[in-house]
Amino acid sequence: MRPTDTAAFAALAGDPVLAIERAEFDRARRLISELAGIQLSPHKRQMVHNRLSRRLRAHGMASFGAYLDLVERDPREREAFVNALTTNLTAFFREPHHFELLAALAAEHGRAQRRPLRVWCSACSTGEEAWSIAMTLREAGCAAEVLASDIDTDALETAAGGVYPAERAAALSAARRRQHLLRGVGANEGWVTVRPELRPMVRFAQLNLQSAEWPPMEPFDVVFCRNVVIYFDREAQRRLLERFTRVLRAGGLLIVGHAESFPATHPAFRACGRTAYRFEPAS
Ligand SMILES: C[S@@+](CC[C@H](N)C(=O)[O-])C[C@H]1O[C@@H](n2cnc3c(N)ncnc32)[C@H](O)[C@@H]1O
């Protein structure tokens, strides 16, 4: 007999007991959109099934509907739900041209300004991007304050820990690894950690880019917002861009991901290099 739709989904996940019904999947999509602004495509049913199954197992639950009820009434589970559905793909010095731009800006800033350069890494995931920013600024000898934030509290814990499997840092030059990382020995063999000199440069905090209120912030010289707005709809992207105009200094840079061009839609942002935009408000 031909399997039913949901039976086929459960079999794919190697779990014959649990299946996510279409209505439950749609409810999960609505919830993650409300909580994080993340728009999940209708093709992500299998992914949602796999990621939420772990949460169901953690609670010994046998239905996605019951689990989503829990998400709606329990703020702690809401956090775990968001953490489960975020995609955290990142790497040290990902899209290296942005770090070359930052190095040039840091050198110029060091010559012209006495105050620290302020950088916001606004979707820092597990921290590789934030530490790459700190490494770049340290190499430039530029006093700096980096705020690194993300909605995902699990990813932030890894980020703040600054400890990574050594292969994640393998693409860094040997000189960079020596200058910025410590190699694990004994029980920590196979791991690296960021050097203590980098740690005071970066402050980690949870921040939902889509929340109604952001905490008060001093203006930034540079905002990294890379590979996150791809998950937001057009209106959310527009609102976010408007909010960035309120936290960027005039002349500051907004740096976005390789597949993103949303700042080009705003008259106050002028393209200056690959997926980098200078904030030039009308005076
Ligand atoms: C694909 S990663 C990109 C990481 C890094 N910026 C990079 O380009 O390598 C996307 C990150 O955006 C975060 N994110 C998703 N929605 C968010 C929101 N509403 N507010 C803040 N961060 C969010 C996710 O938790 C995830 O860590």
Q: What is the pLDDT of residue 113?
A: 85
Domains along the chain with CATH numbers: 5-85 (1.10.155.10), 97-279 (3.40.50.150)
| Atom number, ligand 1, closest to the C-alpha of residue 208 | 20
Q: What is the pLDDT of residue 19?
A: 87
Q: What is the pLDDT of residue 234?
A: 96
State which H helix or E strand residue 45 sits in: helix 45-59
For the chain, report the end-to-end CA distance as a whole number of angstroms.
71
| Atom number, ligand 1, closest to the C-alpha of residue 225 | 6
Does the active-site annotation cover 27? no
Residue 261 CA to ligand 1 centre (angstroms): 16
Residue 255 CA to ligand 1 centre (angstroms): 14
pLDDT tens for the chain, residues 1 to 283: 344 444 444 544 454 447 899 999 999 999 999 999 999 999 999 999 999 999 999 999 999 999 999 999 999 999 999 999 999 999 999 999 999 999 999 999 988 888 999 999 999 999 999 999 999 999 999 999 999 999 999 999 999 999 999 999 999 999 999 999 999 999 999 999 999 999 999 999 999 999 999 999 999 999 999 999 999 999 999 999 999 999 999 999 999 999 999 999 899 999 998 999 999 999 7
Q: What is the pTM of this model?
A: 0.94
Does the active-site annotation cover 51? yes
37 lines ligand 1 (CB under 6 A): yes
Sheet holding 191-194, edge to edge: 163-165, 191-194, 181-183
